[in-house]
Every structure is written in C-alpha cells, then in structure tokens.
Amino acid sequence: MATTVEPFDTVDLIRVKRGSGELSTAQIDWLIDAYTRGYVADEQMSALTMAIFLNGMDRREIRDMTMAMIRSGETMDFTGLGKTTVDKHSTGGVGDKITLPLAPLVASFGVAVPQLSGRGLGHTGGTLDKLESIPGWQASISNDRMREIMADSGAVVCAAGSGLAPADGKLYALRDITGTVEAIPLIASSIMSKKIAEGTAALVLDVKFGSGAFIQDIDQSRLLARTMVDLGTDAGVATTALLTDMNVPLGLTIGNALEVRESVETLAGGGPADIRELTVALAREMLASAGLPDADVEAALDDGRAMDAWKRMIRAQGGDPDAALPTARETHVVTAERSGFVTEQHALPFGIAAWRLGAGRARKQDPVQAAAGIELHAKPGDSVVEGQPLFTLHTDEPDRFARALEAVDGGWAIGDEAPAARRIVAERIS
C-alpha cells in the first residue's frame, strides 16, 4: 500500500520560525491541514507555537494562518437573511457582562447579531455560563435554528458548533498547556478564524487592557487590536476595535447569576454607570458598522425596546426571562476598616476570588455555581465610612470563603482623597 508523500517536513518549519524566518503560504496551509488530521504531532506543534511566541509572524503569515484555520471546517452564510449582521467580540475580563445587554440593544434596531460565545476559564467569566443561570436557557442550537432566531428576534448568543474552525479548537487546547496562549499572532488568528467563519458582515472588537485583562499592557493590547482589525479588513469584514480599561471590575457584580441580574437592570434603563457607558459605546460602533450611525441607543435602553428584545432573545432559546435567578446559600460581607474614599480596586484579585467561590472553572469540564460570585458595594472614587459594606462574597459552599478572602487581600485600598476619574474607552482603532 502506497504511503502519501507529504510536501513539507515539520522539523524544517520549526527551524524556520526558530530562526525568525517566514513561513510561505503553502507551508502554512499544509501545516494547519496536517495538524488537524493528526500528521503533525502535538510535540512538534508545541515547538512551533513557542517559536511563534518568541519570534512572531508578519501580517501575511497571520492572515494565511487565519484563512487556513477557517478552511479546516465549515463556514456560515447569512446572506439572504434580510438584515445586516454585525457581531462583537471581547477579549474578556472581570465582570464583563456587556454582551448580555448589548446584543438585544443592537437587535432592537432591526440588526441581526450572531454572537457565538464561550465559557469561562480561570478568572475571566464566560457569557454562556452567565446565561445558563437563567432557567431553561440552552446554549447549543443548530445553525438552522440560529438563522431562524436571527430572522425573528434579531439576536442570538450561543455556543459555536464543533465544525467551525476545528483547527483552532485543537490548537487552542495545545497552547493552553504549553505557555503560548499570549502569543499575539496566535490569539488574533484564533479569534478571527471563528469570527470570519461565522459569516458576519461587520465586527466590533472590545480589546481589554489592565490588571484583569488577558493582556495587561496597553501597547500589546493595541497591537492585538490592530492585528485583528487588519485580519478582518483583509477578509472583507468591516472591523473596528475599542481599547477598554480592565484595571477595575466592570459594574458591581462578578459571577454568573449576579451579572445577569445587573444586565437586566441595565436593559431597564438603570445599572452601573460604567456598564451603561461601555454598552452604549459598543452599540453605537456596531450600529454605525451596520449603516445606522445616528441610532439613539440610549433611548432604546430607557424606553423598553432593548428589554423587549432581551426577552425575545431568551425565550427563543428556551429560557424564562421572568423566572427568579439562583441565589447563593451563603454570604460573607467585608466592611471598610476606615472612612475615606475607595482609591484602588484591582480587577485580577476580585476575578480570582470569584473563581475560587465557584463562579469559574479551572478545567473546561468543571461545573460552575450559578449563584457564586462577588457583589461590590463601592467603586473607586466612592466615599465610605468605617464599618460600611465594601463587598459581599456569595457561594453555596462556605469553606470557599477563606481562599477567596486570601485572593482579594491587598486588592483594594481606602485613602483620604478620591482618585482621578477613569475613561473606560481609551482608543478606537479602525
């Protein structure tokens, strides 16, 4: 029986990137295909991803890798839907619940939002985990059902099917255990391969920086945003990005059901100021990409249109938007030891604490507690008096409190003067 002769040698490709060389389009196409079908071993791909982490890739190489990962699976097509499609992607953060009010808000203007989302891992929460705290809501739906909901309700938030960019799923799992997750060419191609394969006409990226972000340095976050905008543009997807601050948790809640509750408050015209500010900024960006630059998004939050779209979106996937959300069996309140102003509230410690309370998972297969998390009673700039509650820990298992408190130790401070006001949106990249 004849053996297929492969056109390239994996070791040669490793040597090229190890020496800061460029891989050709043909080499990248072969590499992704050969890895997907199991010819390239995990050990070899690990060496190659580390070489990419250390030496980078140029724009053409990143584009070639992205397109090769798209070709590894199916693509979606929403032409003929009768609506403009626009999606949003966030690189993740602590208390980042923005997708929940944003998708129905944008859909309330007649725009379709095909939001393929993921689950949380580590200190960053997952959109699907949050929505699954709503009784009856289902994350997994067929492509046909997704199209039906978009035609009717406008917004869909669901899990990506296994057939969408399967090379990315395999490569991400490898990067997760080899210390190469932060490689910008690999992050960019991972995110954009799924978003381009999804078939959206326009895409808005929310790229975080700061202590609770995936990439903490603003210059590196800017580079990631620019790389992804270039990838989308090269693929014919109208793509823009906002660089947003993740040094402080977003909103006043961290955790699944807690964040859903806060999102509903925002859809009712209330909610914390920073959640409303970022939701409105991203909605304006998305609607401008869809040809509606003058849409009054704040009015849609205040007059009930966004809430109506939320209820339609939740019901379309089996959820009951009016059902009571889970509440934790145990709580622990941390109070201010002195009077003054909250001057610091670092996102990462609070994200880790919520994770330890049960709101997140250490492994993809781990369950999460729907009601676990943290409720913040004050944010930087707020005045407090001695003994006033600063935040409340929520969990079903009281033995989790000790390690959560260890995580937040030193994560906040109270001083005599209020800190300078923060800007949530630092830059726009187009």
- Angle of CA points 407, 413, 414, to nearest 5°: 145
In order, the DSSP letters of 255-318 are: SHHHHHHHHHHHHTT-S-HHHHHHHHHHHHHHHHHTT-TT--HHHHHHSSHHHHHHHHHHHHTT
Task: Assess whether 175 carries a catalytic annotation.
Answer: yes
155 DSSP β-pair partners: 113
Tell me which of 89, 195, 222, 284 is the catalytic residue. Answer: 89
Tell me which of 97, 119, 130, 194 is the catalytic residue. Answer: 194
Q: Of the candidates 177, 94, 178, 122, which has an alpha carbon nearest to the alpha carbon of residue 362?
A: 122
Amino acid identity of residue 141, one-letter, is I
Residue 195 has, within 13 A of its CA and on its CB side, a CA count of: 29
Tell me which of 72, 90, 153, 190 is the catalytic residue. Answer: 190
In order, the DSSP letters of 344-380 are: EE-HHHHHHHHIIIIIS-SSTT----TT-EEEES--T
Task: Assess whether 194 carries a catalytic annotation.
Answer: yes
- Give SS3 for 281: helix
Task: Assess whether 332 carries a catalytic annotation.
Answer: no
Tell me which of 168, 206, 245, 274 is the catalytic residue. Answer: 168
Query: Strands, DSSP E only, in 214-370?
Result: 238-245, 253-254, 330-335, 340-345
C-alpha to C-alpha distance for 49 and 38, rounded to whole angstroms = 16
157 DSSP β-pair partners: 115
Tell me which of 130, 175, 208, 276 is the catalytic residue. Answer: 175
Task: Assess whether 168 carries a catalytic annotation.
Answer: yes
C-alpha to C-alpha distance for 198 and 74, rounded to whole angstroms = 9
- Give SS3 for 403: helix
> Which backbone phi and psi does 25 adopt, to 5 degrees?
-60, -45
C-alpha to C-alpha distance for 272 and 364, rounded to whole angstroms = 30
Helices then strands, each counted (H, E), the chain: 16, 13
> How many residues are given for the chain?
430
The sign of the dihedral angle between the CA atoms of 363, 173, 102, 210 is positive
C-alpha to C-alpha distance for 422 and 430, rounded to whole angstroms = 23
Task: Assess whether 190 carries a catalytic annotation.
Answer: yes
Residue in the block written with tokens 């977003």: 250
Active-site residue list = 89, 168, 175, 190, 194
